[in-house]
Amino acid sequence: MKAHRKQRLFIVLFIVAGVSIAVSLALFALSENINLFYNPSQIAAGEAPQGQRIRAGGMVVDGSVKRDQQTLEVLFEITDYQASIPISYTGILPDLFREGQGIVALGRINEQGVLIAEEVLAKHDENYMPPEVAEALQKAEAAGKAHFKPTAADSAVVTQEP
């Protein structure tokens, strides 16, 4: 009878050991910061590979959007409030694309360090508000009292990273 108990104990120990190894490996992986998503400071620091398809995300810099008059080409910059990188995109932008808004761009970085985007997706945050409130906030921000958007936007970018 004892032998059966011993066998069961052996299996339980095996399972416990395996699970603990799995957990420690997973914790190690977490510390390694796996990422398929680059923020502007990483790209500016040259961490992103050139010529590979990557994803970059950040806020569109106020006043940086320049539209070509003849073609659909748009040039703009995105920022994470530490660094900014230029993005070029040819095509129709989503409705939600506007300055100060978070976006995700898919594309390759060329030699000049410009991200040539194949796709631009507008990211919307969890902050919903009526237009009047937004207007009031903007006015307040213009008056230099509240710093509403950047903080909310920052948090939106940070959540994209593990």
Partner 1 sequence: MKVWFYRLGSPKWFYDIAGRCLPWLAWSALLLIAIGTVWGLVFAPADYQQGNSFRIMYIHVPTAFLAQSCYLMMAVAAVISLVWKMKLCDLVIVAAAPLGAAFTFLALFTGAVWGKPTWGTWWVWDARLTAMLILLFLYFGVIALQHAIQDKVASARATAVLILVGVVNIPIIKYSVEWWNTLHQPPSFKLTEKPAMPSEMWLPLLVMVLGFYCFFAAVLFMRTRNEILDRERRTKWVRELVQKVSSR
Partner 2 sequence: MSMPQSISSVFMAILRRDMLLAFRRRQDLANPLVFFVIAVSLFPLGVSPEKSFLAEAGAGIVWVAALLATLLSLDGLFRSDFEDGSLEQLVLSPSPLYAIVLAKILVHWLVTGLPLILLSPILGLMMYLSSDQIVLLGLTLLLGTPVLSLVGAIGAALTVGLRVGGVLISLLVLPLYIPVLIFGAGTVNAAASGLSVAGYLALLGAFFMLALVLAPLAAAAALRISMTNS
User: Residue 133, interface with partner 1 (CB under 8 A)?
Assistant: yes
151 binds, among partner 2, partner 1, none (CB under 5 to 8 A by kind): none
154 binds, among partner 1, partner 2, none (CB under 5 to 8 A by kind): none
x/- track of binding to partner 2 for residues 30-69 (CB under 8 A): xxxxxxx-----------xx--xxx---------------
User: Residue 156, interface with partner 1 (CB under 8 A)?
Assistant: yes
Residues 6+ apart with CB under 8 A from 137: 129, 146, 148, 149
The Cα 139–Cα 141 span in angstroms is 5
The Cα 120–Cα 93 span in angstroms is 7
x/- track of binding to partner 1 for residues 18-57 (CB under 8 A): ----------------xxxx-----------------x--
| Burial class (CB within 10 angstroms; exposed 0-12, middle 13-18, buried 19+) of 5 | exposed
The footprint of partner 2 (CB under 8 A) covers: 3-4, 7-8, 10-11, 14-15, 17-19, 21-23, 25-26, 28-36, 48-49, 52-54
